[in-house]
A and B are shown apart, each in its own frame.
Chain A
């Protein structure tokens, strides 16, 4: 599958949050790096179809972002997400599965499979409000994967994860990325340098780097520190 982002722009009254960005992604993991306010979340929201761009277009194999067909391919984890207070981890994932149109039986199986995968099967029946930040994030990851997405957009997915969970998450994403387009944003260079075959770097709403990391440029972390800190 090919995801095309063509001259995508988002302008608020007197601020351009994303400025005519174009790129194309195929299966694999792409890391999106940038400082706070660089426009990463705005770009991801437009790619997830929840924010209308001011200009440009986004398509997946020619299917426009605004359509149900595009959303059927999508898995999305926002930077901050809430949950209904009465929901258990299992109910939460099943609710999202229902909204993604999964058959009840398939949704049930898939929910158990994913909760096992993210290490929450023993607490699947507990209310999310009793979970730690890392556990909530893992529930978020499970819901994003519930429809076997062809395009997975993860906005700061490693926030709140402890080092052990972070490594486990990286391995999971690397596995998913074999058959799926995965785009994930982070501040932490080590999150992407081991698993991302492709990098996007944003600054002030513009793309300043695109492609696999070129080793001749030196250490990625060093480059990132110089560019963004």
Chain B
């Protein structure tokens, strides 16, 4: 009985088979291109952020958690020195269209290169904020000092490097040289290291300043960074 039914189904399918689509390609060409939301654009660009960037962020968080779990006192200083490199990695990633000669192609796509760069900046900004939001409480819980002072202590070198790197990368020298951002990160990290090693009392004084004025200082550098990002985006399509 079941077999008869299957045969009937097959016969019916064959008798009423759908015709070959005629003019499918022509029809598809008449469709308007789909709208893409901001979230889709961000997801799309996030998929093209290179693996080393995610690995570096994971390494920073991993080192923080590992250092905090074994109560290694130097962990906070290590983070202060690592954050400038996180900023440099983000700047290099933001500027990679120019670095690899993709700008002209990306400019001629449906979304302007500005949208692409802005999306990348937002994704990388979220990634850096996540790193900070995980590291600051972990470090504060392990070594004391409060989330805000610890947070601002590791955030400020990041913002200083980010704003300086964005400004330098726009200059003719920055356009020719791909290593200026890591160079700036190295300078900021070295200064942090020397500052910490020079005089422990100076560090204590600095921490007191951060406790009182950490937020306004961080806010100043944050504004400076946003300003530099805006200038970078503005300069993106000043082609040739």
A binding-site residues for B, Cβ under 8 Å = 42, 45, 48-51, 68, 71-72, 74, 76, 78, 80-86, 95-96, 98-103, 106, 143, 147-148
A71-B109 contact in complex given A45-B239, A50-B237, A98-B44, C-beta closer than 8 Å: yes
B110 at the interface (CB under 8 A from A): yes
Asked if B110 contacts A99 (CB within 8 A), the reply is yes
Task: Write out the residue numbers on chain A whose beta carbons fall within 8 Å of the beta carbon of B110.
Answer: 68, 71-72, 99-101, 147
Asked if B111 contacts A50 (CB within 8 A), the reply is no
Asked if B108 contacts A82 (CB within 8 A), the reply is no
Task: Write out the residue numbers on chain A whose beta carbons fall within 8 Å of the beta carbon of B239.
Answer: 45, 50-51
Asked if B104 contacts A86 (CB within 8 A), the reply is no
Asked if B108 contacts A50 (CB within 8 A), the reply is yes
B5 at the interface (CB under 8 A from A): no
* Nearest opposing residue in chain A for B51, CB measure: A86
* Nearest opposing residue in chain A for B100, CB measure: A82
B binding-site residues for A, Cβ under 8 Å = 28-29, 33-34, 36, 44, 48, 50, 96, 100-102, 104-112, 116, 237, 239-240
A51-B240 contact in complex given A95-B48, A98-B44, A101-B34, C-beta closer than 8 Å: yes
Asked if B101 contacts A96 (CB within 8 A), the reply is no
Asked if A86 contacts B50 (CB within 8 A), the reply is yes
A72-B50 contact in complex given A84-B96, A100-B109, C-beta closer than 8 Å: no
Partner of B34 from A42, A74, A103 at Cβ < 8 Å: A103
In the complex, 12 of the A-B residue pairs with CB atoms within 8 angstroms, ordered by the A residue number, are: A50-B108, A51-B239, A68-B110, A72-B33, A74-B108, A76-B108, A81-B101, A82-B100, A98-B44, A101-B34, A101-B111, A148-B29
Task: Write out the residue numbers on chain A whose beta carbons fall within 8 Å of the beta carbon of B102.
Answer: 81-84
Asked if A82 contacts B101 (CB within 8 A), the reply is yes
* Nearest opposing residue in chain B for A71, CB measure: B110
* Distance from A45 Cβ to chain B, minimum over Cβ atoms (Å): 7
* Distance from B186 Cβ to chain A, minimum over Cβ atoms (Å): 23
Partner of B105 from A96, A98, A148 at Cβ < 8 Å: A96
Query: Which one of A51, A76, A99 has the greatest number of beta carbons of chain B within 10 Å?
Result: A99
* Distance from B99 Cβ to chain A, minimum over Cβ atoms (Å): 8
Complex Cα–Cα for A138 and B161 (A): 40
* Distance from B52 Cβ to chain A, minimum over Cβ atoms (Å): 10
A81-B105 contact in complex given A86-B50, A95-B48, A99-B116, C-beta closer than 8 Å: yes
Partner of A83 from B28, B50, B100 at Cβ < 8 Å: B100
Given A48-B108, A51-B240, A84-B48, 14 more A-B residue pairs with CB atoms under 8 Å apart are: A48-B107, A50-B104, A68-B110, A71-B109, A76-B108, A82-B100, A82-B102, A99-B109, A100-B109, A101-B36, A101-B110, A102-B33, A143-B105, A148-B29
